[in-house]
C-alpha cells in the first residue's frame, strides 16, 4: 500500500501546475502589492508563473498573491508593474499564455 501511495504522489507531482499552461485574456489591476505580482483563480498563492504576451512576445515572471480575475473570459490579472513589463498597460488587456 505504501508503494502505491508513493507512486501516486510521485505522479501527482509531475502532472500538477508545473507543466500546465493556460491561454486567454490577461488584464491588469491596481493591487496593494508592489512588484511583479498577479491574481489567479486557482493557482496556489506564492506560486511563480511565467506570463507571455502573445501580442508582442514579451514575458515576465509574476508571483500569485491574490485571487481573481472576476471578469468572465480572463485568466489572470497582473499588477500595474507587470503590465508595463509585458507591454499592455495602455491597451488594458492582451492575449496571454501562462506557464
The pLDDT assigned to 31 comes to 73
Of residues 87 and 19, the one with the higher pLDDT is 87
- State yes or no: pLDDT of 64 exceeds 80: yes
68-81 average pLDDT score? 96
* Domains of the chain, earliest start first: 21-98 (2.40.40.10)
Strands 74-78 and 37-39: antiparallel
- State yes or no: pLDDT of 6 exceeds 80: no
This prediction has a pTM of 0.79
The pLDDT assigned to 5 comes to 39
Whether the bond into 63 is cis, omega within 30 of 0: no
Helix (H), strand (E), coil (C) string for the chain: CHHHHHHHHHHHHHCCCCCCCEEEEEEECCCCCCCCEEECCCCCCCCEEEEEECCCCCEEEEEEEECCCCCCCEEEEECHHHHHHHCCCCCCEEEEEEC
Amino acid at each position: 500500500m505504501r508503494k502505491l501511495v508513493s507512486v501516486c504522489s510521485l505522479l501527482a507531482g509531475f502532472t500538477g501546475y508545473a507543466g500546465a499552461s493556460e491561454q486567454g485574456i490577461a488584464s491588469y489591476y491596481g493591487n496593494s502589492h508592489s512588484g511583479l505580482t498577479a491574481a489567479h483563480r486557482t493557482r496556489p498563492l506564492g506560486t511563480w508563473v511565467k506570463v507571455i504576451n502573445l501580442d508582442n512576445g514579451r514575458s515576465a515572471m509574476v508571483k500569485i498573491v491574490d485571487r481573481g480575475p472576476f471578469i468572465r473570459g480572463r485568466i489572470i490579472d497582473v499588477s500595474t508593474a507587470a503590465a508595463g513589463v509585458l507591454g499592455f498597460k495602455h491597451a488594458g488587456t492582451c492575449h496571454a499564455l501562462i506557464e
